[in-house]
Structure 1
Amino acid sequence: MTTAFDVRTLGSVVRVELHDSVDETDRERIRDQWVDLIEDGVEPDVTIRGTLDRSSLLDDANPAVSAASPEHLAATIATEVTLAGIAGLSGAALMLHAGGVALDDGRVIALVGPSGRGKTTATQALATTLGYVTDETLAVYPDGTVVPYRKPLSIGKHPETKTPVAASQRGLRDLPDAELRLDAIVVLDRRENVETPYVELLPLRDGLNEIVPQTSFLSALSKPLRTLVTTILATGGVRRVVYSEADTLAALVDDMLSAGSIESPQLVDVGVSVGDCGCEAKLNPLGAGETTTESDSTPLYQRKDYRDALSVDDSLVILSHNRVTVLDGLGPVLWFAAEDVTEAELVEAALREMPAPPEHVDPAQVVAATVGELIEGGLLVRV
């Protein structure tokens, strides 16, 4: 007899169907792991089947998973349910690989980190006194509103052996009776032998480098960099907490919420793209000159495919393949000028836009070296 139950997963309802190849006791155990999110009377958006018999998956139209043991199946179902919820919010919310806890007034602290960084342990330690929001995926709308996902906590040291455990079974606090809004983004940095744990404010560049790899479907947002940077600035900047033991984090909550604030930079949207669109009026504000006629053998330089670009004060932030690169100095000049131009024309753009170099410096050599770095970094291409 198949066991089926529906769970609220971020903005979606996911139905889990457990095949009768799973023992009845194990089916009930898996259902109990989701007891905090079970929702009745709502039509599901997605159905996921779980089985210990791979042959039962043949000709099945719904997403399905199989495993060699009930324990592995439970962990795999937890992953699939989470992925379904994330996909349901693709393009609508900023999604962080983060735990989350909430104060009584609804302020939420995001605890960001890759798998194995200690998100679940840190979240569990804090959620004994603060509201449990999530231990893995934090969804934030552009206005700062947080979508709770009180999923079973993933307990264990290795992803393949983690066991889902309902938050209520771990004694974690319920959500406050207040609107949830993101108030702090904290990167977890667990180290050995930290006698005095502390919180530090990161420069925007460092914060972006930490956060971008810990996002899902960032490129699906209409303005991914603008959305991410605005969210970071609204919280005062990315904090990093350096600690050894999770039970020391509760004493640092006030510091997480008030560890200074970075100065708001001037933001200018350069443009979003699925490739080098050649939109010269939009992407070449530096006014590079007309392309001169050269021999067909002369290489030309173009911007390589990218998703989004944002000017932040005098720097240029570029998002490509879910990786962020920050360019300063000569880098933005060459990137903007790279519209099917020769290296000689890039030198001309550099001389026009940058301060005059010292007499002993050869501009052509500097440009050549910088162009090489941009090519190596996947930002320019030679054609």
Structure 2
Amino acid sequence: MRAGRLRGMPTAFDVRALASTVRIELDDSLNSAEQESIKAHWVDLAHHEDGEPDRVIRAGLGDLSPAFDGSFPVRADSPEGLAQRITSEITIRAIGGLRGEALMLHASAVALDDGRVVGFVGPSGRGKTTAVQALGRAYGYVTDETLAVRVDGSVVAYPKPLSIRKRPGVKATEPASTLGLRTAPTHDLRLAALVLLDRRPGVDDPFVESVPIIEALSALAPQTSHLSALEHPLRTLLDTILTTGGVRRVVYAEASSLPSLIDDVLRTIEHGAPMLIDIPKLSERDCGCFSDDVATQSNPSGAEESGVYWRASYVDALTVDDALIVQVMGQVVVLAGVGPILWLAADGLTELELREIAMRQLPEAPAGVDVTGVIADAVQGMVDTRILVRK
């Protein structure tokens, strides 16, 4: 407690964040005005129904006493810093409440009056919040950070207070209603389009372009939360891409130009439907995909051969046209060319055996191509990305 500060009475309030009710308990290290200011940030998501919350956050300045009641303690050195920490923790708890039930993208989003939702995806600093500030006066504000899409395409709105950068390293927390943003429809929200934000200085004529399926998947997968918790994560992500007509990229310089591009974003972009093949979950040793292409030597001792390659543990795998997408914890790896053959064949085979299989499966290489070197590089690349292990 800093000297000279007036204590307030502890206060608590509930907010509805995605599908969870979160209670925020502010202790007496904050004075009454500071407590009311933080509470006002969440006026658009205030929850007044009876019942116990799904999560409880205890917040205050300075050190907090340990919690033994299951609540989560949050502290900061200033009321402004505490407001940001509270926003982050509410969002984390809300995302956790939909773990395994929805595809959750790091995206801002707005909704048309008929419930169609346009999501703007990108890492921090790419302009998601600025985009919805520019769009939210013409369209309904859905979220500035976390877009939750259920497997049926329905969207769970999360119109959280916006975190607006005031100067480097400093953000202010502002509720959407005080910024003049429109309220999105409360029912029947459905994802209609996904957009990658590409802000480039000096773009005089902003435009919308289609993004190839593999590139879209590679761009979206890192911008998700709890993707691996879904039953079929890669299939779910790809189905979402396909049912919205493919991912678009908006190339622009100023957010003020975004409203004029919405019609272009929503216009269906025709794609040739890719061929998708789900790969059954394989253990390290049960594929047998190329068992007829290599002579298996008996091993009476049962000891594993040194220097052989196995598929590492992975979450999901899917073939998209000629590419193989493999999801391991923390990343999605796209394999093309010889990569899919080598990965599927890696059932305790040496590099020589893998090379023999690949050369049987691939067309004859052009003159001057070092096939041995290409395959060795491919194998090492998969080891480096942790989708193959060498034992």
Q: Is the 8 A contact 1:333 1:350 kept in 2?
A: yes
For residues 155 and 4 of structure 1, the distance between their equivalents in structure 2, rounded to whole angstroms, comes to 25
For residues 290 and 35 of structure 1, do their structure 2 counterparts lie closer, same or farther at Cα, with a shift above 3 Å needed? farther
TM-score (norm 2): 0.91
Q: Is the 8 A contact 1:223 1:272 kept in 2?
A: no
For residues 55 and 375 of structure 1, the distance between their equivalents in structure 2, rounded to whole angstroms, comes to 45
The answer to whether residue 38 in structure 2 is matched with residue 30 in structure 1 is: yes
Give 2:159's match in structure 1, choosing from 124, 145, 150: 150
The answer to whether residue 296 in structure 2 is matched with residue 291 in structure 1 is: yes
* Structure 1 residue 373 displacement after superposition: 2.2
Deviations 1:65-119 (A, max 9, x none): 1000000000000000000000000011000000010001110000111111111
Match of 1:176 in 2: 185
Q: In the alignment, residue 334 of structure 1 is paired with which amino acid?
A: L
* Structure 1 residue 236 displacement after superposition: 1.0
Match of 1:278 in 2: 285
Residues 206-225 of structure 1: pairs in structure 2 closer than 5 A: 206-225=215-234
Q: Is the 8 A contact 1:200 1:259 kept in 2?
A: no
Deviations 1:130-189 (A, max 9, x none): 000000000000110000001001111679522221111111111126510001000111
Deviates more, 1:205-214 or 1:98-107: 205-214
Match of 2:336 in 1: 328
* Structure 1 residue 244 displacement after superposition: 1.0
The answer to whether residue 342 in structure 2 is matched with residue 354 in structure 1 is: no
* Structure 1 residue 56 displacement after superposition: 3.3
The answer to whether residue 145 in structure 2 is matched with residue 140 in structure 1 is: no
Give 2:116's match in structure 1, choosing from 107, 118, 121: 107
For residues 36 and 327 of structure 1, the distance between their equivalents in structure 2, rounded to whole angstroms, comes to 45
SS at match of 2:15: strand
Deviations 1:32-80 (A, max 9, x none): 1000101112321000010113143465631011000000000000000
* Structure 1 residue 192 displacement after superposition: 0.8
Q: In the alignment, residue 128 of structure 2 is paired with which amino acid?
A: K
Q: Is the 8 A contact 2:284 2:311 kept in 1?
A: no
Match of 1:92 in 2: 101
TM-score (norm 1): 0.93
Q: In the alignment, residue 152 of structure 2 is paired with which amino acid?
A: D
Deviations 1:249-279 (A, max 9, x none): 0000011111623222111111347xx5423
Deviates more, 1:92-101 or 1:344-353: 344-353
For residues 358 and 16 of structure 1, the distance between their equivalents in structure 2, rounded to whole angstroms, comes to 66
Residues 48-127 of structure 1: pairs in structure 2 closer than 5 A: 48-57=57-66, 59=68, 61-127=70-136
Residues 257-268 of structure 1: pairs in structure 2 closer than 5 A: 257-258=266-267, 260-268=269-277
* Structure 1 residue 286 displacement after superposition: 7.6
TM-align CA RMSD: 2.1
For residues 362 and 28 of structure 1, do their structure 2 counterparts lie closer, same or farther at Cα, with a shift above 3 Å needed? closer
Q: Is the 8 A contact 1:201 1:261 kept in 2?
A: no
Deviates more, 1:301-310 or 1:9-18: 301-310
The answer to whether residue 201 in structure 2 is matched with residue 196 in structure 1 is: no
Segments of 5+ residues of structure 2 without an aligned counterpart are 1-8
* Structure 1 residue 326 displacement after superposition: 1.4
For residues 117 and 157 of structure 1, do their structure 2 counterparts lie closer, same or farther at Cα, with a shift above 3 Å needed? farther
* Aligned-residue identity in percent: 50
For residues 132 and 158 of structure 1, do their structure 2 counterparts lie closer, same or farther at Cα, with a shift above 3 Å needed? same
Give 2:250's match in structure 1, choosing from 221, 241, 249: 241
Q: In the alignment, residue 77 of structure 2 is paired with which amino acid?
A: A
SS at match of 1:56: coil
Deviates more, 1:328-337 or 1:341-350: 341-350
Give 2:13's match in structure 1, choosing from 2, 5, 25: 5
Give 1:314's match in structure 2, choosing from 310, 322, 327: 322
Q: In the alignment, residue 61 of structure 2 is paired with which amino acid?
A: L
For residues 290 and 133 of structure 2, the distance between their equivalents in structure 1, rounded to whole angstroms, comes to 49
Q: In the alignment, residue 269 of structure 2 is paired with which amino acid?
A: G
Match of 1:15 in 2: 23
Q: Is the 8 A contact 1:316 1:332 kept in 2?
A: yes
Segments of 5+ residues of structure 1 without an aligned counterpart are none
Q: Is the 8 A contact 2:100 2:231 kept in 1?
A: yes
* Structure 1 residue 375 displacement after superposition: 1.9
Q: How many residues align?
A: 379
For residues 166 and 228 of structure 2, the distance between their equivalents in structure 1, rounded to whole angstroms, comes to 30
For residues 222 and 374 of structure 1, the distance between their equivalents in structure 2, rounded to whole angstroms, comes to 25
For residues 360 and 193 of structure 1, do their structure 2 counterparts lie closer, same or farther at Cα, with a shift above 3 Å needed? closer
Give 1:372's match in structure 2, choosing from 380, 385, 389: 380
Q: In the alignment, residue 105 of structure 1 is paired with which amino acid?
A: D
Match of 2:347 in 1: 339
